[in-house]
Structure 1
């Protein structure tokens, strides 16, 4: 893999940094992936870190619900620990 230096306006760089962060990628990886897509090349099948984290979070949140509410409120510490 070769390194390439590019120049761009500060405003564009700021937007690219934000988009790369949203995708969980470095600016370099983000730009390389964009170029590969525009040339019709396959981008690595590995999901971005952010995508993987979002999928894991969705799995946790969609899991079974706990029935701990009592009369529409959470139990007190004494109620939780009663035997």
Structure 2
């Protein structure tokens, strides 16, 4: 683990120290966790985009041509569907 020195004005230091105490963390841990937050949000965004792509693919599939599976105007029975031909 690396150490980093940062400079901040007194007011920012005070509010950061208070927020860290509220979170039950050291100032160092609090700042590190806050810096990690944007990279934690990226997978969610990527996951949401993947979900949207899957949904769009399903919509395209269901909007496509219908499959004609009826025989003589009626649906096949379970026995007919499962019969080995």
* Structure-1-length-normalised TM-score: 0.47
Higher relative contact order (CA 8 A, sep 6+): 1
**CA radius of gyration, larger in:** 2
